[in-house]
C-alpha cells in the first residue's frame, strides 16, 4: 500500500502532482462546454468537472480553473446572460475533444479548429455541439469561489437534447447506447461499458443486479 501525505503532494514535481491529483476522483464525465461572446465569437472547451447538484429543480455544476488569467469559457458565461451548453463527448471524437484544450488565439473558434459544428437551438444564446449524443442548455444561477482560486458555477438545466436510444422508459440514461466516453486524469479517455444496476437500496434487502 502506497501512503501519500499532503506534504508529499506539495513536494511533488508539478507535472507529477497534476497527474496524480487529477486522477484521484477516478473516472469522470467527458463534456464539451460551449459558449459564445457577445460579438458571436464561439468557444469550446473540454471539461471533466460536471457534477449533479439537485433534481428539483434540475441543477448541475462545473468547476472552472482559477481566473487569474483570462478564461474564455468563464467570461463568455458571465457576458452572455449566464448561458452555456454541456455536451457529452462520443468515443469516436475524443481526439478532437481533447484538442480543444490547446491554447488557441482569442479570435480562433475551437468549434472550427477542432472539427465540431456549432448549432443554436430554440433561441438559446449559447452554441451546442451538433455531433454530441446528449446536450444540455444551462443558465448560471450562482457562483462560489473556492479557496484554491477555482470557481464552482451552479447552473439550472433549461434544455436537454438526446438521441432516442439513450433514454430508457424509467428515465435512466443508456450511455453505452449513446457511445459516450469517460475521462481519467488529465488525458485518459475510456469506453463506457454496460453497468451493473441494482435499483433502490433498502435496509434488510441486500441488492442484486437487475
Report the length, in residues, of the chain.
Answer: 210
* 3 state SS of 95: helix
Short-list 149, 70, 63, CA closest to 103: 70
* 3 state SS of 55: strand
Can you give the pLDDT of all 210 residues of the chain as single tens digits? 999 999 999 999 999 999 999 999 999 999 999 999 999 999 999 999 999 999 999 999 999 988 766 678 999 999 999 999 999 999 999 999 999 999 999 889 999 999 999 999 999 999 999 999 999 999 999 999 999 999 999 999 999 999 999 999 999 999 999 999 999 999 999 999 898 888 888 998 898 877
> What pLDDT sits at residue 68?
66
Please state the domain extents for the chain: 29-189
* 3 state SS of 164: helix
Which grid coordinates are listed for 32? Answer: 464539451
Class of the domain covering 29-189: mainly beta
Short-list 140, 146, 142, 130, CA closest to 80: 140
List beta partners, residue 186: none
> What pLDDT sits at residue 66?
85
Residue 183, Cβ density class (10 Å: 0-12 exposed, 13-18 middle, ≥19 buried): buried
Residues 73-132 have pLDDT tens digits of 999 999 999 999 999 999 999 999 999 999 999 889 999 999 999 999 999 999 999 999
Pinpoint the alpha helices (H) of the chain: 6-11, 14-23, 72-79, 94-99, 110-113
CA separation (Å) from 55 to 28, 60, 81, 151, 208? 20, 9, 22, 21, 26
Report how far residue 155's alpha carbon sits from residue 139's, in angstroms, rounded to the nearest whole number.
5
Amino acid at each position: 500500500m502506497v501512503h501519500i501525505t499532503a506534504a508529499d503532494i506539495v513536494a511533488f514535481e508539478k507535472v507529477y502532482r497534476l497527474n496524480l491529483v487529477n486522477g484521484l476522483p477516478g473516472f469522470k464525465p467527458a463534456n464539451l462546454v460551449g459558449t459564445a461572446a457577445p460579438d458571436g465569437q464561439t468557444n469550446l472547451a473540454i471539461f471533466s468537472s460536471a457534477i449533479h447538484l439537485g433534481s428539483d429543480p434540475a441543477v448541475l455544476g462545473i468547476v472552472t480553473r482559477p481566473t487569474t488569467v483570462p478564461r474564455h469559457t468563464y467570461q463568455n458565461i458571465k457576458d452572455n446572460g449566464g448561458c452555456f451548453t454541456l455536451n457529452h463527448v462520443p468515443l469516436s471524437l475524443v481526439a478532437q475533444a481533447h484538442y480543444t484544450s490547446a491554447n488557441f488565439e482569442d479570435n480562433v473558434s475551437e468549434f472550427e479548429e477542432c472539427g465540431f459544428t456549432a448549432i443554436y437551438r430554440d433561441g438559446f444564446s449559447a452554441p451546442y455541439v451538433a455531433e454530441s449524443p446528449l446536450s444540455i442548455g444551462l443558465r448560471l444561477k450562482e457562483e462560489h469561489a473556492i479557496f484554491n482560486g477555482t470557481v464552482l458555477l451552479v447552473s439550472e438545466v433549461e434544455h436537454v437534447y438526446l438521441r432516442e436510444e439513450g433514454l430508457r422508459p424509467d428515465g435512466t440514461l443508456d450511455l453505452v447506447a449513446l457511445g459516450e466516453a469517460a475521462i481519467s486524469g488529465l488525458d485518459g479517455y475510456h469506453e463506457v461499458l454496460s453497468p451493473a444496476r441494482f435499483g433502490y437500496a433498502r435496509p434488510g434487502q441486500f441488492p442484486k443486479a437487475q
